[in-house]
Structure 1
Amino acid sequence: MVPAFRHRLFSSFLETSRRKIRAYVTVRFSGRCSLASPWFCRVFEGRPRIVVSRGRVHADRLRRQGIGVQELYSKLRQCGIEDLAQVKFAILEADGGISILKHGEHGGEGLYQPPMLPAREMAWAERR
């Protein structure tokens, strides 16, 4: 006969193991679906969002993403931006980082490449 505390300990261990396996399977499944389907990718990973275009801060977009204007300004200062006019685009990436693309010093496009952002996002930025 197994003492009651050993039985509870073993059942607790089994439940914890089941939860870990379930979490692992869920993560693996969502990762595979994200690779196979653009829709899953957008849902689970998100999309990049333009938060500054041509030196203009889009505070409504920052607010929706849960980022304050001061946090954006801090990131701009860390990247050596002294004036918003230097910023061509600031993009909130899907992983939560902020990419800053300056106007090209050499007159070119710099690091900006059109496929980098979804077409709807670029159309939105052009209208602003």
Structure 2
Amino acid sequence: MPDSDTALTIGQVAERTGLSVHTLRFYEREGILTHPVRRDGGGRRLYTEHDVDWLTVCVILRASGMPLPAIRRYTELVTAGAGNEAERLTLMRQHRERVTNQIAQLTRSLDLINYKVGVYEDILGA
């Protein structure tokens, strides 16, 4: 359960997570948060440290290329609690495979770039 003593504004959460206010609202609509966002008397969103921690995980997963539907599914599984760890593991293993393939492709690209840099350094150094 979220820490009810902590109340962070959407601006504070945007600053801490690197997400825009627009993205935070979008993530809320898309079911990316594990708990409903509370509101104050004026209807302004109030976030918790738990929300910031969860959003940080989501930012990292998204930066690694995990599609939003997969993050939403992961959120659903985590929110549901114990008993679905096998599905969480499958989801993470599938994503790990995608990330591993991306790293291999980037490594091949970097090897070519390094080769080309060496060629041009040799030409200009001669």
TM-score (norm 1): 0.25
More helix by share: 2
More strand by share: 1
Asked which structure has the greater CA Rg, the reply is 1
Which has the bigger relative contact order, CA under 8 A and spacing at least 6?
Answer: 2
